[in-house]
Structure 1
Amino acid sequence: MTLQNKVYRTVIWVWFLLYSLWILYPLLWLVMNGLKSNSEFFLDTWSLPKQWLWQNYLAAWDAGIGQYFFNSILVTLVSVVLILLLGSMAAYGLSRFRFKGVDALLLIILSGLMLAPQVSLISLYKILQTIGLYNTYWALIVPYVAFQLPFAIFLMRSYFLSIPRELEESACMDGCNTWGIYLHIILPMGRPILASAALLTGMSIWNEFMFAMVFVEDTSLRTIPVGLMNLRSQLNTNFGVQLAGLTIAALPMIIAFVLFQRQFVRGLTAGSVKG
């Protein structure tokens, strides 16, 4: 390796190291200040805590974050499972079967990406009240699934198009039917895009505020975004506990991205050449 190449690689590594620190520092600041008292937070917000107040996290959990956290976990998990199940079946059908009107059906599905959730707020509110789902977990799950499905179908269809058809033809010769191909070939080979779709839709659902605020009025059913707003009103003078609550709220999505980062990148790049 020439000196010029070594210098070039060193500059690249330094750049990515500085960029990583730039991204990670706000998270570290959040965790660090969640361990401080009010006076220490205001006097020196950039230093390490002199006394590590781990009870701030316990206080935030007991103040209601625990209930909101489990509500968000439940709503997000159920929504993501339904999105992956329905989206993968739709994407498989749209990528493999040719029938009259398939292109129009795909266009109709993708047109859902152009519908802003804010536009449908009043009509959804009336519908949920009429069918008896208002102020339940399903009042959040059903709209989340409906609004995230077009994006998930778009992602998964592009990936499924890149899976060789020869594998399916071989399976058919061995006596495998359409459901068998879907279960034993498409889903196992599509794990990267399933992980990508799960992460992207899960993050959107986890952070959604508007529907969670309007469609649920029972405090025991509310999710993390609305819960953090309530926590702020309850603890408007205790910033350490508020920051601890924010840390708890951000932790699941950070862990999910760290665990599934390889599948996430593979899923977004493998199907990018077809559409």
Structure 2
Amino acid sequence: MRSKFKINIGSRLGISLISLVLIVYFLAVAYPLFWIIINSFKTTDQIYASSWSMPIQWLFSNYVEAWNNGVSKYFLNSVIVTTFSVVITVTLSALSAFGLTRFEFKGKSLILGLLAAGLMFPPQVSLIPLYKLVQTLGIYDTHWALIIPYVAFRISLILLLIRSFFLQIPKELEEAAYLEGCTTFGIFYRIFLPLSKPILWTSALLTAYYAWNEFLFANIFIDTDTTKTITVGLLSFRDALYTNWGVLMAGLVLSALPLVILFLIVQRHFVRGLAEGGVKG
């Protein structure tokens, strides 16, 4: 009885300690975001005078002004770049993962090794060669100057995640489909994709997060203001507004909203996809 009592006390203390750490971590992450949101409804004078207090008057006009002063243009560019990056990355990764999972061929182990090695190199290492390659291809200062590098640097991770998930799908389903006269692509489309929604949503979210928030390539490969994404656009947006920090913070909130909404929509699939996508290698 005493040992059980000690175990219960120990487990409760452990849970309480973990809960306390998580609460502190949540406050450390959430409060700066809350601070930006409340200050996005203030004037610059109010921010300097009382940045930690609630707004005296909620200025929703800051969001309208931010949107009209250029955020709408940068927002659209980010949507285009992120959408194409997600669609191409997930599509190519799913098709490649299917081939690497269900077919045997020479060089398969080498391909998997190269994919794993691709995770070890940060994008910054290839900045100069990529810059020359983008100019040689004639895609400098276009959306493709960002889409192609984003796909290239995310496809290794996404492919390996999807492959790990595909390995868990029973081969009996595939054999039964073959007996029913289903083609190889039909098996991929009718069996693998419907069963793999959690990892596909997870892959889409991870790719969207990277493409939406990426700054280095967007700052170097894009020159004109009409093509800039929102991460780089907000930098020039700040310079254009000088000290209008309320409008700038409204722009920051607008830039963060899409990813927050996307995560809230797919969070159930995201947690399941991460859990099941890392079971096998």
Taking structure 1 as the reference length, the TM-score comes to 0.93
Residue number in structure 2 paired with 1:208: 214
1:121 alignment partner AA: L
Unaligned runs of 5+ in 1: none
Residue number in structure 2 paired with 1:128: 134
2:245 alignment partner AA: F
Tell me how far apart the structure 1 counterparts of residues 135 and 251 of structure 2 sit (CA, whole Å).
32
Tell me if 1:175 matches 2:181. yes
Residue number in structure 2 paired with 1:88: 94
Report Cα offsets for 1:110-165 as digits up to 9, x if no partner.
Answer: 22222322222221122221221111111111111111111110111111111111
Contact 1:196–1:264 (8 Å) recurs in 2: yes
Tell me how far apart the structure 2 counterparts of residues 245 and 153 of structure 1 sit (CA, whole Å).
34
Report Cα offsets for 1:74-101 as digits up to 9, x if no partner.
Answer: 1000110000100100111111211121
Q: Secondary structure at the match of 1:125?
A: helix
Tell me how far apart the structure 1 counterparts of residues 257 and 214 of structure 2 sit (CA, whole Å).
16
Tell me how far apart the structure 2 counterparts of residues 179 and 40 of structure 1 sit (CA, whole Å).
61
Tell me how far apart the structure 1 counterparts of residues 66 and 51 of structure 2 sit (CA, whole Å).
20
Tell me if 1:73 matches 2:96. no
Select between 226-235 and 4-13 the one with higher mean Cα deviation: 4-13
Question: Offset of 1:59 from its aligned partner?
Answer: 1.2
- Aligned 1:1-275 pairs, distance under 5 A: 11=16, 15=20, 19-275=25-281
**Given the superposition, is the C-alpha separation of residues 56 and 96 from structure 1 closer, same or farther in structure 2, using an over 3 Å criterion?**
same
**Aligned residues with identical type, % of pairs:** 47
Tell me how far apart the structure 2 counterparts of residues 111 and 6 of structure 1 sit (CA, whole Å).
41
**Given the superposition, is the C-alpha separation of residues 14 and 122 from structure 1 closer, same or farther in structure 2, using an over 3 Å criterion?**
closer
**Given the superposition, is the C-alpha separation of residues 123 and 19 from structure 1 closer, same or farther in structure 2, using an over 3 Å criterion?**
closer
Tell me how far apart the structure 2 counterparts of residues 83 and 46 of structure 1 sit (CA, whole Å).
42
Question: Offset of 1:235 from its aligned partner?
Answer: 1.6
Tell me how far apart the structure 1 counterparts of residues 29 and 11 of structure 2 sit (CA, whole Å).
26
Contact 1:161–1:271 (8 Å) recurs in 2: no
Report Cα offsets for 1:165-209 as digits up to 9, x if no partner.
Answer: 111111111111110110011111111001111111110111111
Tell me how far apart the structure 2 counterparts of residues 25 and 98 of structure 1 sit (CA, whole Å).
52
Tell me how far apart the structure 2 counterparts of residues 267 and 188 of structure 1 sit (CA, whole Å).
13
Taking structure 2 as the reference length, the TM-score comes to 0.91
Question: Offset of 1:24 from its aligned partner?
Answer: 2.6
